[in-house]
Amino acid sequence: MNEHDLNKYDLKTPLAMALGAERESVALYESLRKRTRNYVLRERLRFFADEERKHEGILRTRIIKLFNDQLSPIEPLETHLEDGAKDYLKIATCTGNDACRAVGAC
């Protein structure tokens, strides 16, 4: 594939999708953080959410440089945040085999 083949593709769409993915990741980490009482896990999830926010900022800066334009994020078509958050939370909060069996995570 030569460089001319790439010219037919729209770069804005995948970048907008990437912005949407970063936002969705922040929402997931924040949702999990609010649902756990484990301090270490809460702080780790806060760190992950902050990292995703940085990624979004980097993407936005790049988009402005490339297009002299703001770009609205494209959110994923289907989000199962609540269901996924529950599954991750069950696994993340297990402290032993008995606890894991009690929540159905093992």
Instruction: Output 16 or 83, whichever has higher pLDDT.
Output: 16
Write the pLDDT tens digit of every residue in 8-51: 557 888 888 888 899 999 999 999 999 999 999 999 999 999 99
For residue 16, what are the contacts with CB-CB under 8 A and spacing of at least 6?
A: 71, 72, 73, 74
Q: What average pLDDT is seen over the chain?
A: 76
Instruction: Output 72 or 58, whichever has higher pLDDT.
Output: 58
pLDDT at 79: 47
- Please give the average per-residue pLDDT across 59-85, as a whole number: 69
Please give the model's pTM, rounded to 2 decimal places: 0.61
Q: What domains appear along the chain, each with residue ranges and CATH number? A: 7-76 (1.20.1260.10)
